[in-house]
């Protein structure tokens, strides 16, 4: 398979990238790792006349801890860089594990976190765990910048709130009080399979009581979905397997799965029940794993 012709720009900064995207409008698209866009261009799903490279920009390649702010992850950090980050391994091993489960080694060396988010595929592995940790996304455009909670970035399958001249530049996992978090995924194979169901959970347990919790479901609705009724059920209660089973039942009622080649809607719904229970138990008992 060969690609159609296009022009390629290598800007020196995010600002310059946004100006190029603004200047060429719908004719141009940004490219980071390329694992999605190159394949979509081969299949003629996308046909940009201009690609603006952002994957090489050093300002988008950092992972750092900023006291008082949280862990800052640049948008063009690859999945393997997340997986191997000492800072993340120490604070949120759950995020490293999700990055590890995202795809095979070759793809993890190319594909970026920002790309995984901006492609807005419902089965993507990074959104649930990042949303469960209250991650925010910094969005920079030619007219200025804004910061949104990550869960508000998604509009539908392959759709985000980003304007054509806007880029996500970084994600911030704020210093929070979550005592545990996890992402568990069910795919049809151990490697290289998209999630049939992915469930992320984070909990804040104090004095044996769940003060706060997030349950985020992937691959069972057009966008990553917070199971808010299930969260409300467990807030203020003592963790127990029976409680988490009940939360699973509620969460499976909240999701909106479809039937496709990988699984039926009924199966996905029931797996949400099981995985919600397992994820909550894991986050309560094992910390950030």
Partner 1 sequence: MPEFVVGKDGIKRYLVTITVNGVEYTKMVKANSLLVNFLREDLDLTGTKRACEQGDCGACTVLLDGKPVNSCMVLTVSVDGREVTTVEGLASNDKLDILQEKFIEHSAPQCGFCAPGILMSAKALLMRNPNPTEYEVREAIAGNLCRCTGYVHYVEAILDAAAASQERKDGKNG
Q: Does 9 bind partner 1 (CB under 8 A)?
A: yes
Beta carbon of residue 187, minimum distance to partner 1 (angstroms, whole number)? 12
Q: Does 181 bind partner 1 (CB under 8 A)?
A: no
Q: Does 15 bind partner 1 (CB under 8 A)?
A: no
In sequence order, the 6+-apart residues with CB closer than 8 A to the CB of 113 are 73, 75, 76, 77, 78, 79, 82, 99, 126, 171
Nearer to partner 1 by Cβ, of 1 and 261: the residue is 1
Taking alpha carbons only, the member of 239, 245, 242 closest to residue 213 is 239
Q: Does 53 bind partner 1 (CB under 8 A)?
A: yes
Q: Does 253 bind partner 1 (CB under 8 A)?
A: no
Q: Which stretch binds partner 1 (CB under 8 A): 1-9, 176-184, 245-253, 260-268?
A: 1-9
Q: Does 11 bind partner 1 (CB under 8 A)?
A: yes
Tally of CB atoms within 10 A around 211? 14
Cβ 92 vs Cβ 173: under 8 Å: yes
H or E segment to which residue 5 belongs: none
Q: Does 19 bind partner 1 (CB under 8 A)?
A: no
Cβ 83 vs Cβ 103: under 8 Å: no
Beta strands in the chain (DSSP E): 7-9, 28-31, 50-53, 63-66, 70-74, 136-141, 144-149, 154-156, 159-160, 167-174, 180-187, 195-206, 209-218, 225-226
Q: Does 42 bind partner 1 (CB under 8 A)?
A: yes
Q: Which stretch binds partner 1 (CB under 8 A): 2-10, 69-77, 143-151, 257-265?
A: 2-10
Rounded to the nearest angstrom, the gap between the alpha carbon of residue 40 and the centroid of all alpha carbons in its chain is 20
Which of 192, 229, 241, 285: binder of partner 1 (CB under 8 A)?
A: 192
Q: Does 5 bind partner 1 (CB under 8 A)?
A: yes
Q: Does 262 bind partner 1 (CB under 8 A)?
A: no
- Name the site residues for partner 1 (rule: CB under 8 A): 1-12, 31, 34-35, 38-39, 42-43, 51, 53, 55-56, 80, 103-107, 109-110, 190-192
């Amino acid at each position: 398979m060969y690609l159609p012709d296009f022009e390629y720009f290598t800007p020196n900064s995010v600002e310059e990238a946004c100006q190029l995207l603004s200047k060429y409008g719908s004719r141009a698209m940004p490219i980071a790792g390329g694992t999605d866009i190159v394949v979509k261009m081969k299949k003629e799903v996308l046909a940009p006349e201009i690609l603006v490279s952002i994957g090489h920009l050093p300002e988008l390649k950092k992972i750092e801890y900023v006291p008082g702010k949280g862990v800052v992850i640049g948008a063009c950090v690859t999945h393997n860089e997340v997986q191997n980050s000492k800072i993340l391994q120490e604070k949120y091993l759950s995020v490293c594990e999700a990055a590890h489960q995202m795809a095979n080694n070759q793809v993890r060396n190319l594909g970026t976190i920002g790309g995984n988010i901006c492609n807005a595929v419902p089965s993507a592995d990074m959104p649930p765990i990042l949303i469960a940790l209250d991650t925010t996304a910094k969005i920079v455009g030619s007219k200025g910048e804004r910061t949104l909670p990550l869960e508000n970035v998604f509009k539908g399958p392959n759709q985000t709130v980003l304007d054509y001249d806007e880029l996500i530049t970084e994600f911030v996992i704020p210093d929070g009080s979550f005592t545990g978090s996890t992402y568990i995924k069910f795919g049809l194979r151990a490697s290289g399979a998209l999630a049939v169901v992915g469930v992320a959970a984070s909990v804040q347990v104090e004095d044996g009581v769940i003060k706060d919790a997030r349950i985020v479901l992937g691959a069972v609705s057009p966008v990553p979905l917070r199971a808010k009724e299930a969260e409300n059920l467990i807030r203020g209660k003592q963790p127990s397997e029976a409680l988490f089973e009940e939360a699973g039942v509620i969460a499976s009622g909240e999701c909106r799965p479809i039937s496709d080649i990988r699984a039926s809607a009924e199966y996905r719904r029931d797996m949400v029940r099981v995985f919600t229970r397992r994820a909550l138990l894991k986050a309560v008992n094992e910390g950030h794993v």
